[in-house]
Amino acid sequence: MKVYFYSKEKVIETERKKIQQTVVDDFYKNGVLVLSNFMAPTTDSQLSFVNMDGLVIEGADVVSEVGYLIAKALSQKKPILYLLPKGTVLPDQLRDLTNDNNLKKFFILKFYNLKNINNLLLEFIDIIETGELRKEVPTIKFTLRFTPRAERYLRWKTHNTKVSKADFLRNLIDASINSDENYQKNLRSQRKTDNK
């Protein structure tokens, strides 16, 4: 999974720097590749959402700067997590996005602080992976080589079924994710930590 994280590049406040680092670190801990304007700056015109799974914006003071990114992500039906510090007044430019029935399923506005940011990021990952916005078509290309014996088994296992070899392997991995106690325990402990 790959997300683009946009935040003000030159941040002076210590808490904002901490939030930026927390977002990047939490995504990495959960296997999400993060691209960002402040880590490896690109111009908006160079940024493509074709291979991105979502957009995260820390929008404490960047509303006018991100209109193009929001429009680009929405045009490609990519989910957007727009983060505002708790206690911030909702900017008028965002009010229409949160009220529009067609757009609000892609535009998720959340108010954050250092205690709940981790949980908000995990929820966003869940929305991308398993929610209504999940991609029906796999998007990550992965090259895997098999022995003739393994390929013969896959062919035999999927013969006379409507399941392709690739879908069979995807289903095995999904089952492994759901049954991996250490991985699930890690997710639960992160959520508990965030709720404290």
**Burial of residue 33 (number of CB atoms within 10 Å: 0-12, 13-18, 19+):** middle
Which domain CATH number covers 98?
A: 3.40.50.450
Q: Which residue has the higher pLDDT, 54 or 142?
A: 54
13 and 95 part of one domain: yes
169 and 117 part of one domain: no
pLDDT in tens, 100-123: 877 878 889 999 988 899 899 988
65 and 112 part of one domain: yes
Q: Specify the pLDDT at position 170.
A: 85
Which of residues 136, 162, 180 is at a domain's end?
A: 136
CA 150 to chain CA centroid, Å, is 33
132 and 147 part of one domain: no
Which of residues 136, 164, 188 is at a domain's end?
A: 136
Q: Which helix (H) or strand (E) holds 163?
A: none
Which of residues 136, 167, 184 is at a domain's end?
A: 136
pLDDT over threshold 90, residue 55: yes
* Other C-beta atoms lying within 10 Å of the C-beta of residue 111: 14
Residues 70/95/56/39 CA torsion (nearest 10 deg): 70
12 and 95 part of one domain: yes
pLDDT over threshold 90, residue 56: yes
61 and 130 part of one domain: yes
pLDDT over threshold 70, residue 21: yes
pTM across the whole model: 0.67
**Burial of residue 65 (number of CB atoms within 10 Å: 0-12, 13-18, 19+):** middle
Domain of 147 in residue numbering reads as: 142-196
**Burial of residue 35 (number of CB atoms within 10 Å: 0-12, 13-18, 19+):** middle
Mean pLDDT of 151-163: 85
78 and 31 part of one domain: yes
76 and 8 part of one domain: yes
Q: Specify the pLDDT at position 57.
A: 93
93 and 151 part of one domain: no
pLDDT in tens, 170-180: 888 888 988 88
Q: Into how many domains does the chain fold? A: 2
